[in-house]
Amino acid sequence: MEIDLSQTKVTVSPKEKDLNDWLPVTSSRNGKWWYSAFHNVTAMVGAGVLGLPFAMSELGWGPGAAIMILSWVITLYTLWQMVEMHEMVPGKRFDRYHELGQQAFGEKLGLWIVVPQQLMVEVGVNIVYMITGGKSLKKFHDTVCPNCKQIRLTYFIMIFGSVHFVLSHLPSFNSITGISLAAAIMSFSYSTIAWVASARQGVQPEVSYAPRASTSTGRVFQFFSALGDVAFAFAGHNVVLEIQATIPSTPEKPSKKPMWKGVLIAYIVVAMCYFPVAFCGYAVFGKNVEDNILVSLEKPAWLIAAANLFVVVHVIGSYQVFAMPVFDMVESCLVRKMNFKATRRLRIFTRTSYVALTMFLGMTFPFFGGLLGFFGGFAFAPTTYYICIILGFLLMILAPIGALRQLALDAKDFDFYS
């Protein structure tokens, strides 16, 4: 892929500057390197880490360990490239993922290549986080009050979603900094609880590391689905440029230096979360591990309840990190293409509608494991592993095949809004 670097200076019209000063990604550029660190932790260490033991059970020890390590190395490398490309054209910052796509593929083709995938990633994550937040709230409720009347998962998703009807109206990326910091702390906390609690329980007497599926066809499809689960867990690149856009930059002090410092810290945290959870969870429960490791853990009850509450806090922050670029994209389109005025009323309408949509879809299709594999393979793989183009393309084709099969199996016994 060749990118034209012939431009020496990019001028911005007053109207465009005013719009950028209003849009959530570019309205505030006072971010620090530690903003980069916890924004990246929040974006990456999410629902995916809880599904890694399940992915290991579909891959097996050898392939699973190899794919985990390779994913960590490859995605760190591609993330470094993203950081470097943010200001590769003098006088211009690629503040949004699609702007880089337009530079690479052309003004129109770049949009058609990048925007659908980026939207699928971000909207898909927000749907999954609606489900994860609702499931974790339900698990917390059932753990602290086992004798209480059972409440439908649908209601817990609605409770979780109601929080975002308020938080989604924060104006800019940097305005969610405190929420993102809390989310990053929570992600490290519940990941630590997940693997420590697993290790404390010890290897179960009936543990088996045999393939989950009984047929060779089933094992192949599960392998494909697991690739999507891992891709989902290591995703987050599609908001990297937007995170870097919040950091100030001058020719003497380009934004890539503090951004990269934050990324390195974030990736150390990712390794401390992912590898122990994946390996300990699979070692303890084997092929019987649930698609959310916290569901497999029952004791001590107070610790599991706390972990699920931490998950809720974390996915609240993660939802906002992934939703903010969507808000930016939608609001920008409405103002530029449809001539709406950049007003608070427009912002209230777009953001309230978006939260309502993701909540409705989460309530309707709460298939946690299958959704991870599908979105992870179809959209996350090319946006996260894109530099390694052959690997990204194979993941994009193979992972959704296995995930769709898993979704079909899950849907057979599912009652809507149960």
* 146 within a domain of the structure (yes/no): yes
* 9 within a domain of the structure (yes/no): no
Distance separating alpha carbons of residues 278 and 293, to the nearest angstrom: 9
Side-chain half-sphere exposure of 149, counting CA atoms within 13 A? 2
Q: Mean pLDDT, to the nearest integer, of 220-241?
A: 79
Domain that residue 237 falls in: 26-411
Here the tokens at position 385 are 């592993």
Confidence label for 347 from pLDDT (cuts 50, 70 and 90): very high
Q: How many domains, the chain?
A: 1
Residue 370 pLDDT exceeds 80: no
Here the tokens at position 293 are 């490791």
Distance separating alpha carbons of residues 58 and 52, to the nearest angstrom: 10
Q: Over pLDDT 70: what percentage of the chain?
A: 83
Whole-number pLDDT of residue 360: 92
Residue 88 pLDDT exceeds 70: yes
* 2 within a domain of the structure (yes/no): no
Distance separating alpha carbons of residues 371 and 384, to the nearest angstrom: 17
Here the tokens at position 209 are 């590391």
Residue 385 pLDDT exceeds 70: no
Nearest to 348 by CA among 327, 332, 363: 327
Whole-number pLDDT of residue 113: 79
254, 271 Cβ separation under 8 angstroms: no
Comparing 117-126, 136-145, 251-260, the range with the smallest average pLDDT is 117-126
Q: Over pLDDT 90: what percentage of the chain?
A: 27
What are the pLDDT digits (tens) for 181-221? 999 999 899 899 889 988 888 887 888 888 777 777 778 87
Q: Mean pLDDT, to the nearest integer, of 4-33?
A: 72
Whole-number pLDDT of residue 275: 95
Confidence label for 2 from pLDDT (cuts 50, 70 and 90): very low
What are the pLDDT digits (tens) for 153-191? 899 999 999 999 999 999 888 888 889 899 999 989 989
The CATH number that applies at residue 133 is 1.20.1740.10
* 338 within a domain of the structure (yes/no): yes
Query: How high is the mean pLDDT of the chain?
Result: 82
Whole-number pLDDT of residue 1: 46
186, 306 Cβ separation under 8 angstroms: no
Confidence label for 6 from pLDDT (cuts 50, 70 and 90): very low
CB-based burial label for 410 (10 Å; 0-12, 13-18, 19+): middle
* 20 within a domain of the structure (yes/no): no
**Strands in 142-291 per DSSP E:** none
**What are the C-alpha distances in Å from 223 to residues 57, 281, 302, 401?**
9, 18, 34, 10
First to last CA, the chain: 48
Comparing 185-194, 340-349, 376-385, the range with the smallest average pLDDT is 376-385
